[in-house]
Amino acid sequence: MSNTDLYCKFLEQANPIILEFTKHYPKHETQFHFNKINKKSIEVMYYELRKTKQIIPRPDLFNRIKGLQKTCSSCYSFYMTPRNRSAKFLDIKLGKKLEDVFINFLNGEGISARRTENKPLNYPDIEILNSEKQVVAYCEFKYLSAPFLIIYKKIPGRDCYEGSNTLDVGEKIQRQRVLVETNINVPVYYVYWLDYPCVKGIFYMTAKQVYDYIDSVEGVQYDRKERSGDFIKTKDGSSKKLAETKKVYLPLFSMEILDNLMNELKLLYGHSSK
């Protein structure tokens, strides 16, 4: 089964739950779908450009991917409107639901997975178990649908299709890194479900690769402006900031594909107790 086929299988299983859950959630028309443009975008923007590590300006790809210009226009119109119009807790609630559908998919593919519980705060989201119920790996799971359309202005040389893979680098990731590097002695993967209007799929990097990248850019690449949706009202009437604004943008070309992740997790499941 190809990576595209595996992702489509995942979507087929996940969509009945997701589409019902998000029926009142503001989303782009392409979210949770996969079409011919997405297939061609993956072929060109991931497989072909990754071989040469060339980040080609997005408009220069219009002639190579039929329909991309129209897709980009729709994407720009939707995602350049002000963000954070909904309360932050709704995004958190959606994130938890998407974690659940990914866990269900892993279990359906013969990989024992569950939400991480009874562990210190900031442990990765999902734990992978072997047949003896021992933890053999962790996954930190992230869903992204909004490309960073003007990244080329903020970080010269990058472009939205390969550089929108956001990682917050505030206190949470710093605490998580300490846990991963000192408390956890099994593999940890940062798993990204990318659902942009062009690039779609599930990709990942190891924790070491992620932390090495953070170090290579000296800890932060962009500190965006605060928005009203970044804050919630507390019981005493004050505001509490929930969202992180300091970001790095993991390069798509450094990420591996879903079927490779499945193979790694199956190997850990099958051979971890030997």
Q: Give pTM, 2 decimals.
A: 0.90
Query: pLDDT tens track of the chain, all 274 residues?
Result: 566 899 999 999 999 999 999 998 889 999 999 999 999 999 999 999 999 999 999 999 999 999 999 999 999 999 998 655 444 556 778 889 999 999 999 999 999 999 999 999 999 999 999 989 999 999 999 999 999 999 999 999 999 999 999 999 988 999 999 999 999 999 999 999 999 999 999 999 999 999 999 999 998 887 766 555 544 566 666 555 455 668 999 999 999 999 999 999 999 877 544 4
Cα angle 177-89-160, degrees, rounded to a multiple of 5: 65
Strand partners, 194: 144, 201
As to burial, measured by CB atoms within 10 angstroms (0-12 exposed, 13-18 middle, 19+ buried), residue 204 is buried
Confirm if 41 and 198 have CB atoms less than 8 A apart.
Answer: yes
Q: What are phi and psi of 263, to 5 degrees?
A: -65, -40
CA 141 vs. chain centroid, Å, equals: 7
Q: Maximum CA pair distance of the chain?
A: 56
Q: What is the rounded CA–CA span in Å between residue 203 and residue 200?
A: 9
The pLDDT assigned to 25 comes to 87
The pLDDT assigned to 239 comes to 59
| Token couple for 127 | 């734990």
The pLDDT assigned to 222 comes to 77
Question: Which residue in this structure is represented by tokens 């402006």?
Answer: 225
The pLDDT assigned to 1 comes to 53
Strands 239-241, 126-129: pairing is unpaired
Tell me the domains of the chain and their CATH numbers. 3-271 (3.40.1350.10)
Task: Provide CB contacts within 8 A for 245, sequence distance 6+.
Answer: 170, 223, 224, 225, 226, 230
The pLDDT assigned to 68 comes to 98
Q: What is the rounded CA–CA span in Å between residue 246 and residue 193?
A: 21
Amino acid in position 257: I
Confirm if 102 and 143 have CB atoms less than 8 A apart.
Answer: no
The pLDDT assigned to 240 comes to 52
